[in-house]
Chain A
Amino acid sequence: MKDFLFNFKMPEHFLVTGDPLIYGAQVSIVLASLAILFVLTYYKKWGWLWREWLTTVDHKKIGILYLLASLLMLFRGGVDALLMRMQLSAPNLNFLDADHYNQIFTTHGVIMILFMAMPFLIGLMNVAIPLQIGARDVAFPALNAVSFWMFAAGCMLFNISFVIGGSPDAGWTSYTPLAGNQLDPGPGQNYYLLGLQIAGIGTLVSGINFLVTILKMRAPGMTLWRMPLFSWSTLITSVIIIFAFPVLTIALALLTLDRLFGFHFFTLAGGGSPMMWANLFWIWGHPEVYIVILPAFGLFSEIFSTFARKKLFGYGAMVYSMLAISGLSFLVWVHHFFTMGSGPWINSIFSISTMLIAIPTGVKVFNWLFTLHKGRIEFKTPMLWALGFIPVFLVGGITGVMLAAAPADYQYHNSYFLIAHFHYVLIGGTVYGCIAGLVYYWPKITGFLLNERLGKWAFWWFTAGFNMCFIPLYIVGLKGMTRRMYTYPAGLGWETWNLIATIGAFGMGIGFIILVWNMIYSFRRGEKDTTGDPWNGRTLEWMTSSPAAEYNFAVIPKVKGLDAFHLMKKERAEGRKEETPEIKPIHMPKSEGFPVVMSAFMFISGFGFVFEWMQIGAFGLLGCVITMIWRSFNDYDRDYYIPVEEVKKTELAAGRRV
């Protein structure tokens, strides 16, 4: 027992040493943390932080937390990207060494997909979905907080790796045997396994939460077929999450057992199968890429129809194509390893299923174009991002079909052609969608309008930089440059293109800075959105004030058709008399402290297991279980009513009739 409790095995280097970049990071992290602690204490903000943010169960606030975290992660992942591009800007550079480069492409990939793209979209869902379906919150508000804090714990755990213990370095795919104990000992790879595991719990819970919310909490009259497309895409995404994430959970757990406890799932020595990791990973991984694209599709659909001032063209086809994509997304995973010897039959089948996805996707693109056709298009910033998405996504999609042809893939596989392809879909689709959604919902989130001029600058810098960065990468890919190489010799005809790509990457960075500046600027100088409906929107979220009151709707709206709010406005313009329904006391959930406590224990547990300090790991898990038991015993009186008087006061203060 004593041996168990006091056995702290130390890795060779607990704090990462030897690199000036990392020393700088360590010092700035310590300084920044101290500064935050100081500011919170000096201005006596701890109570405020706890009451308003750490314990909130309001979907709108949780959405803001998600968005803040993902913007921060976009910054971190972006810095990783710029470091890599600097290293590759010319041949034979030694700005990053091979080990460091390996770590950086790994953290870049993981952070961008799991800690940036997905939480960004889940954040937007939190902001918009309950409003869009006319609900007062999600189905399980406390679990929603659990989702966020689990994500936050996993994300923090993963992010501290580069200063404590060293980052994972086997790529975001972490293929075995490379990621196994023998070839990659030490805490780095454990960070990958535990960080993703903890964050994954949060994602799964979000999936369940949004599924139940959308199926069960829609306003009266809103049948499934009257639901806006962002709600549809969230519904379908939730289903994909529920089917895909348990597979990731298992894959990570099995590799953790291999690494920490000497099991043999993926080690050849005991008869294990390294190939099984590739299969499990991509059975989750391919659906994952649809988890990050479908919500973006949903957002684009909203934006196109709003700014073309038209009903979305082919609503039914849009929904069915998303359903088809979600089904197919589980049937294509082998295309990630055509070259690993699955044989002609299997390769052919997966080649065809992959190409099939192009059909529903094409349907969607045509429907968007027809929505624009004869529309009165307004080039506001959200619309710019949506319009920009179509051509770049097309390039990404077409090169995707090229990669899907298995024999040809033997040429493209793991080259920069592939890198360029998936950045065209991930950036051109997901990131454009996230930014479009962010600027579209910004007034609803904050009550301020963004500056249109700055918004346009951000868009053009980002778009120009993006194409300048990745078109050259297609070319060097065809010229034979492979991914994950930390440097290359001169004389292969790669130099110029690489230099152009690096310059383009910095252009994107400038676009990002302008975007963030615009957000800060809007708080200071921005125009206030007094109407709650800055874009002349068509769906229910624009019916509320900006930002919406904590109860969202004083009276739950009645939905009479698709684009419900548009219909209401039309009726009002036609002078039809409106009934003013009576306000009743509103039932609300109370704040909850347990999600953040539970996640803190989870973080401790994860940290313990990363360093194979099993006692710490067990302690954290125990804390987590005890918190859950405590919550179960205190599961009573978790709600309260807002009295009518107070609702009326809030509504009047927001300039609404009551």
Chain B
Amino acid sequence: METTTTTKGYQPMEYKSEEGRLKIFGFWIFLGAEIVLFSTLFATYFVLVNQTAGGPSGKDLFEIHIFATETFLLLTSSFTCGLAILYMRRNSMKGYLIWTIITLLLGLGFLIMEIEEFAMLVEMNAGPTRSAFLSAFFTLVGTHGLHVTLGIFWVIGVMIQVIKRGFTPVTSRKIFMTGLYWHFLDVVWIFLFSTIYLLGVV
């Protein structure tokens, strides 16, 4: 079943096998479902954003320097993740590893900041059980954070497989899919950043 649908003679390795093409396509559809998932969470957030039950609102809680740094870390990590894939295409193991590790560190930095932010809020008696607004906030941002956590494990897992097996149609497909996932989380964050944090502080 090795039909080729090459564009101008070049085809990246992850697209070379039928299986690779199917899995990548399926993963795109999965991301579509993820968009619905996050959209629903956004909707619940906006339904409840003013329901603070006498507790603090976003204005009282969000700190620009925290979420700006978080944004910076995650956006940069999306760029470095793109670089890692570029080096994979060039068949450079070293480049791939360096940029993947940088991506992971940036992601980890983001995650640590988010956890600290959450801990701080809980300490200020602004945890998720305080009000409907905070429930929605923690759930939406936390769901994104959980995705990043899983993403970090996934990227590490794939990296180990790549170190063991080199770039093959299977491993390069995996790299490519983790890349898609990582960019997707970045896009979701842009929406979180602009509609929750920015709108929250103004």
Contacts and interface: CB of A to CB of B under 8 A. Distances in A.
Q: What 9 A-B pairs come out closest when comparing CB atoms?
A: A271-B51, A271-B53, A246-B37, A271-B132, A263-B135, A246-B36, A272-B132, A250-B40, A264-B132
B63 interface: no
A376 B85 CA distance: 61
Interface string A509-520: 000000000000
Nearest to A138: B22
A407 to B, nearest CB: 27
A242 B29 contact: yes
Contacts of B37: 246, 249-250
Contact of A276 (B1, B22, B47): B47
Interface in B47-86: 47-48, 51-53
Contacts of A140: 22-23, 26
B116 interface: no
A247 B33 contact: no
Contact of A263 (B30, B41, B129): B129
Decide if the interface of chain B is mainly helix, strand, loop or mixed: helix
Contact of B44 (A262, A265, A269): A265
A204 B33 CA distance: 8
7 contacts: A140-B26, A212-B29, A242-B33, A271-B53, A272-B135, A632-B174, A633-B157
Given A216-B22, A243-B36, A254 B44 contact: yes
Contact of B36 (A211, A247, A635): A247
A211 B25 CA distance: 10
A209 B26 contact: yes
A251 B26 CA distance: 25
A133 to B, nearest CB: 14
Contacts of A246: 33-34, 36-37, 40
Interface of B: 1, 21-23, 25-26, 29-30, 32-34, 36-37, 40-41, 44, 47-48, 51-53, 128-136, 138-139, 153-154, 157-158, 160-161, 165, 170, 174
B139 A139 contact: no
B16 to A, nearest CB: 15
Given A246-B34, A251-B40, 12 more contacts: A208-B30, A209-B26, A257-B139, A265-B135, A265-B139, A267-B132, A270-B129, A270-B131, A270-B132, A273-B48, A629-B157, A632-B174
A13 interface: no
B23 to A, nearest CB: 7
A629 B1 CA distance: 29
B129 A262 contact: yes
B47 A139 contact: no
A251 B36 CA distance: 12
B43 to A, nearest CB: 9
A48 interface: no
Interface in A255-301: 257-258, 261-265, 267, 269-273, 276, 280
Contacts of B129: 261-264, 270
A212 B25 contact: yes
